[in-house]
Amino acid sequence: MNITTTEVSNAPMDHRQAAMLLWLLMVECIKTGRLKIARCAIELAEALLAWDGWPEYYDGKLGRSYIGKQARKFQTWSIAGYLVAKMMLEDPSHLGMISLEEDEAMKPVLRRSASWTL
């Protein structure tokens, strides 16, 4: 048993980040053309995360997820992960803002902010 927090249930594959990595799933779904999976993931996240109070992480085995015993609610990384994923699904051109090595041909247009001064 791998114990990394005070929870004894924190065994390998027994701890899932709530939504922090949801944006990464969206990137891969968009790149591979699996938009149905992306839409299902967003719908599931919308239903569960808001209902559960945007928890830090979930515990559980065999697909059953429970809010972690020590999980904090209303975590900004959970909310931000969801928002970035939702924005990418709504406008896949946002994918260009993320720099991935294999996507050299996809370069975002970088503009200087109006408030930027030298």
> pLDDT by residue (tens digit) across 47-103?
888 888 877 777 766 555 676 677 777 777 788 888 989 998 898 888 877 756 665
* Structural domain that includes position 96: 15-103
Radius of gyration for the chain, computed over Cα atoms and rounded to the nearest angstrom: 17
Tokens representing 68? 């972690």
Tokens representing 30? 């968009």
| 10 domain-assigned | no
pLDDT of amino acid 17 = 61
Q: In whole angstroms, how far apart are CA 22 and each of 27, 40, 94?
A: 9, 12, 15
Q: What is the domain count for the chain?
A: 1
pLDDT at 41 over 50: yes
CA distance 2 to 4: 6
| 116 domain-assigned | no
